[in-house]
Structure 1
Amino acid sequence: MRRIVSFILLGIGVFAVALGLLLRFYAYPQLAKIPLDNESTSVAQGSGITALVIRTVNGAPQPEIRHNMTLTSTTYVTGDLTQPEVKEDGDVAVYVEATKTTDDATGIVVDASVRSLCIDRHTNEAVAPCEGQYIETEQGKKVTADRNTVQQPGLSFKFPFETEQKDYQFYDLSVRKPVTARFDGEETIQGLDTYRFVMTVPPTKIGDKEVPGSLIGKDDQPSVNTELYYQVKKTVWVEPSTGIVVVGQQEGKQELVAEDQSPGEGTVVFDGTLRFTDETINDNVTKAEDNKSKLSLLTSWPVAMWIIGGILIVVGLVMLNGSQRGGRYRSEVPTRRQHADAAR
């Protein structure tokens, strides 16, 4: 009976270890992938902002710097299933991001952009080849790239599954390159444990602009050639299991710098902070908690199975070894008949 029990324990232990390996190294990679048909909306708002707006006066565009504005920035991300890189059960997704920032008081669009890129569904980094990648920050001026070149390198939209407490490279659309997302500590958001990352861009030239002299205090000149400088501090709070950005905040500044000026001496055309709204944060917390629960079944359960399976295997081997020793001992003990035979 003891041998039977030991074999049962060995069988259950081996099965538990094998099932744990299957869940962790086969099922988990299948689940820890961003969806092909993603569709999400995030909203950020800020008040007391200085920004450049373009009004239409007598049918002509008229730039104007306004202060103490309340802005709303809406970002819509969707998966593009029409691109050649997208295949069912494949490892590449194509996402399109459309962002529009508007003045709450007038509805005037302050800034807008659209971009498309190919992303590795496991690492969340941009990849090539990518046929339809592009950036459009000015309407009708789409900037494309060779399909074999990664146009927007680094992470976009979210962080990797199982985000670590280390620095990452995250793409910044304004400077057109990845910047370092520096790990800055842990923080609890609505009961959810998150990692905080900070991205900083010092004053950096991002373009040349010809503007009316009156816009930058040079009323005697009808137009002036200037350089547009950009600086920002972005802070994101990331749920590490899923890589979902739960909260995002951006403190930015832009200025027009004339030829006789240095950065910091120019005309400020944007200065303010935008942060995810409470509704967006609540939605992100719910999404992160749901996805975290699904993933934990494939990360914590395998460990428990390996531990329990290992214990059962050890107990089974001990019992089996003990039963074999007992059998040998009994075979070596003389029976009464053996004693009688020996007496004769």
Structure 2
Amino acid sequence: MRTAVVVTLLGIGAIAVAAGLVLQLHTYPLLAKLQHDINTVSVSEGEGVTAVVHPPGKAPEVRHNLRLTATTHVEGDLAAPEIKKNGDVTVWKRATIVKEDAEKLVLSAEVRRICLDRRTGEAVAPCHGEFYETEQGKRITAQDRQLLHPGLSFVFPFDTEQRDHRWYDTVLKRPVDIHFAGEQLLQGLDVYRFQHTVPPTALDRLAVPGYLVGSPEPSVDVTQYYGVTRTLLVEPRTGAVLSVREDIRQELRTDDQGEGAGTPVFAGELRLTNASVTANVDQVKENLPRLFLITVLPVVLWAGGAVLLVAGLLLLALRRRGVVAGSLALVIGACLAAAITYGVTTSSDPDDALDLENVVSSSNVDYGLR
């Protein structure tokens, strides 16, 4: 009877420890990664915004109290040469179109293509075909190992830490440290709040029509300034950005004008709509059970398995009987658990469902979103 107890303790303990090891060493790197075939649309809105608009056939003008809608479409480019099943790099394309609601006039539009580390979310190089285009027909492409979008652009790393991260600013064209600012609850999820403020920063020097900046001159040389306060709500286990709020300030200043004295060309706040936030939250809630499987469950299995193994080994040492049976239980339990866990988790790899042999480069994420 005691031999049976020893065999049971050692067998179950071996099963638990082996399953935990496979989940940690094999399953975690297999499943904790950005997907290749992402396809999402999110919407941000703003009210009471001041911005420059370009009415068809008319001169640009500054309008106030506008209502804006910004639509962002992100799609995986499965035809990219960097895309490989169980590879470490994925390629995403993103198009963002900002329109004012009354006349559907386009205020800005951009398309970007970025290679990402599938675990950290950071942009990586070399990246074949990396580009950004903020004016149709004028595409800026990467050369050699040049990194056009350093830092984070879409997501934070899995198991996000409470520290500064580098978030890429598309206007400055460089990453800016974004700081951990606390924790809060968002639709039932514990999230991290990250925030930074970019002070008014000089961008381009350009000539604009005098009337646009209140001058009688036909053309005036000005400097464009840009500043933003950006707040992101991040689910730390997945690194998913669930909510975005940006208070953006851009103005044109002549040489004798100080901060706030120039002509505003964009002043207002854009924030992700409740519907987009809810869609993001729902997606994370769907993925969290899978993350539990590869993060929390291995620890539970190790701890429980270790207790059972110690108890079984102590009984074996005290009685010195059942050594052969106990050894067999250890070996068989470990091998059986490892094989089953490996097979089940491997079959759930999302990369296996992708057909990468018969894809063409995506054209959905482009200016056609206008």
| TM-score, with structure 2 as normaliser | 0.85
Larger Rg: 1
Aligned pair partner of 1:174 in 171, 176, 187: 171
Q: Distance in 1 between matches of 2:98 and 2:201?
A: 22
Q: Please state which structure has a larger fraction of its residues in strand.
A: 1
- How many residue pairs are counted as aligned between the two chains? 322
Q: Distance in 2 between matches of 1:31 and 1:230?
A: 40
CA root-mean-square deviation: 1.4
The CA deviation at 1:309 is 0.2
Q: 1:8-47, aligned counterparts within 5 Å?
A: 8-47=8-47
The DSSP-based 3-state class of the residue aligned with 2:66 is strand
**2:180 is aligned with 1:188:** no
Runs of 4+ that moved beyond 3 A = none
Unaligned runs of 5+ in 1: 326-344
Q: Distance in 2 between matches of 1:79 and 1:208?
A: 36
Q: Distance in 2 between matches of 1:210 and 1:38?
A: 41
| Structure 2 counterpart of 1:145 | 142
Q: Distance in 2 between matches of 1:166 and 1:101?
A: 31
Amino acid at match of 2:310: V
Q: 1:1-344, aligned counterparts within 5 Å?
A: 1-57=1-57, 61-218=58-215, 220-324=216-320
Amino acid at match of 1:37: D
Contact 1:133 1:147 in 2 (8 A): no
The DSSP-based 3-state class of the residue aligned with 2:59 is strand
The CA deviation at 1:19 is 0.9
The CA deviation at 1:223 is 1.1
Q: Distance in 1 between matches of 2:225 and 2:23?
A: 50
Q: Distance in 2 between matches of 1:121 and 1:292?
A: 17
Contact 1:212 1:222 in 2 (8 A): yes
Amino acid at match of 2:173: R
The CA deviation at 1:12 is 1.7
Q: Deviations over 1:150-205 (max 9, x none)?
A: 11100111111111111100111000000111000001011111000002211112
The DSSP-based 3-state class of the residue aligned with 1:56 is coil
Identical-pair percentage: 48
Contact 1:132 1:147 in 2 (8 A): no
Q: Distance in 2 between matches of 1:107 and 1:97?
A: 21
Contact 1:7 1:320 in 2 (8 A): no
Amino acid at match of 1:138: E
Unaligned runs of 5+ in 2: 322-370
Amino acid at match of 2:190: D
The CA deviation at 1:266 is 1.2
Q: Deviations over 1:276-316 (max 9, x none)?
A: 11110110110111112211111111111011101101110
Amino acid at match of 2:117: D
The CA deviation at 1:107 is 0.3
The CA deviation at 1:257 is 1.1
Q: Which has the higher contact order (CA 8 A, sep 6+)?
A: 2
Q: Distance in 1 between matches of 2:144 and 2:19?
A: 41
